[in-house]
Amino acid sequence: MTGGDLRDRAAAWMAADPDQRDRAELASLLADASPQATAELADRFAGRLRFGTAGLRGAVGAGPNRMNLATVTGATAALAKWLTARDPAVDGGGAAEAGVVIGHDARYRSDEFALRTACVLAGAGIRVHMLAGHLPTPFLAYAVRKLRAAAGVMITASHNPRADNGYKLYMADGAQIVPPADTDIEAGIDEIGPLADIALAPADSPLISRPADELTQSYLDTICSVAPAPPSAAWLRFVYTPLHGVAGQLALRAFAQAGFSEPDVVEAQFAPDPAFPTVNFPNPEEPGTLDLALAQARRSAADLVIANDPDGDRLAVAVPDPAAPGGWRALTGDQVGALLGAFLLGRLAADPDADMAEQLAVSTIVSGSLLARIAAEAGAQYVRTLTGFKWIARAADLRAGARFAFGYEEALGYEVTGAVRDKDGISAALAILSLAAVARSVGESLVDAYDGLERKHGVHLTAQLSVQSSSTTEIMARLRAAAPQQLAGERVTAVTDYTGGSWDLPSADVLAFELTGARVVIRPSGTEPKIKAYLEVVQPARDGTLSDARQAAAERMERLRAATAELLAG
């Protein structure tokens, strides 16, 4: 794009932009002749935000490659057109009558984007259920089904950097949008005419309603019934942080209603704050993000630390460990997933009314395999899906007679009840607290509980490797053309290419290499110029001794990690 073309495109966008601040932002960039301003302008007009995982996500700012009122207006107009063009049978009425649930977090301009979404939908004659205040994403997912809506829109960027915001779409079943709906709406955005021609209803339109707190109480009743506090919970001490996000108030209500003691809250991180002032990156997986909570736990001698990410759909758990730096360590998503799976399936197995052959446990093709062994021992079904809860939440829908029992992915996402068809960090927190209280009642900890799983099923060590690359397509093509016959001196026993899909797995750009007692899964990142590898080593714990098995697994993992890095480097 030449400089003149870039300036012409910017001027045309600015003329149509409905927001005065965004127009002024572009005018300032156009008036600045510096190389930095030119590069910034070029990036903003390099394309437009495209649908990724369940919707749009990007930095807040002016221009088509940013999150702003213009991009929200266009996306919502396309959504409105898609809804009204569908089969009108949505719970006995049309999509316009069933309406769309709208929620938002506390990120920059989230409230503005949510209101614009409501006004565009109402302008198209579609009812809107506008959730009040800052609320977590899983509450929106619950509300879509509870209100029997045709769709849901959550304005959030989850655990992305502080500069970002997003537009996340849910379907009538309360789960994230999947193909072909996402591609149809994406195509519809390209067909939207001038933004000035899109009808906008006033904020006080009779089509825009605001559900009362009864909906919130219904959500709390549902998740608290899944994991009520056992009597021993009175002695459980835990630190809680929502990391400046929106889960805090609802989580405290859930802890109290379920019967847990009041947590030791990290006050500096409790109030929603889009600047995320105490963390470099608002993702609980990132090193350092839990430092304040861990310091507080050391001072109060807590039993565990739990943290939600900014939109409340993920859960991080940390436990005391004398061998770890600072005396505490964070559990991995695979470890928490195995603990929750064993706890929930074990409880179902003790229920005489539960048919274990119908119960379904779910994880993903990049998650660890320990849950599969736990499910088999419990007599339950187990299946792997592609990454993402849009697939996990729907896994039971593809299997006659299957009942969703539990699902997780390694990126700290857990679904502990099918009533919320998405990952939910609040209900998962209740479940992990219930498990910790039960363990404490017999003199054990979460670490002891996990040790018991690995003594029984073997050490399952997982790790990730990310390699920056602008040529991920070429790397995947090279691996397909010449798959390795061995890794770290061990024979590759099977290669699975997920391109093309199967009856229960959509096509995906993923390769899996199986070894005896090990596995490497490789895929390009969907959001960054990098390629990711997910590694697992399984080491039997003979005679119940874990230390030797863990040492052997760690040594094997180091060799496998080095070999995988070399493989990706070519």
Indicate which residues carry an active-site annotation.
158
Beta strands at 359-364 and 381-385: parallel, antiparallel or unpaired: parallel
DSSP string, 465-492: EEEE-S-HHHHHHHHHHS--SEETTEEE
- Is 534 in a helix, a strand, or coil? strand
Name the region of 394 (left: φ>0; alpha: ψ -120 to 50; beta: rest).
alpha
Residue 154 tokens read as 């959550």
DSSP string, 310-369: TTS-BEEEEEE-TTSGGGEEEPPHHHHHHHHHHHHHHHHHT-TT--GGGEEEEEETTS-S
Whether 132 contacts 162, CB under 8 Å: no
The closest of 56, 63, 154, 65 to 103, measured between CA atoms, is 154
DSSP string, 399-465: STT-EEEEEEETTTEEE--TTS-S--HHHHHHHHHHHHHHHHHTT--HHHHHHHHHHHH-EEEEEEE
Residue 508 tokens read as 């995906």
* Sheet containing 264-265: order of strands: 264-265, 238-241, 304-308, 315-320, 328-330
Distance CA 344, CA 431 (A): 8
Beta strands at 264-265 and 238-241: parallel, antiparallel or unpaired: parallel
- Is 517 in a helix, a strand, or coil? coil
**Which DSSP symbol is given to 504?**
S
For the chain, the residue count is: 570
Whether 430 contacts 251, CB under 8 Å: no
Find residue 492's DSSP bridge partners.
515
Distance CA 122, CA 99 (A): 9
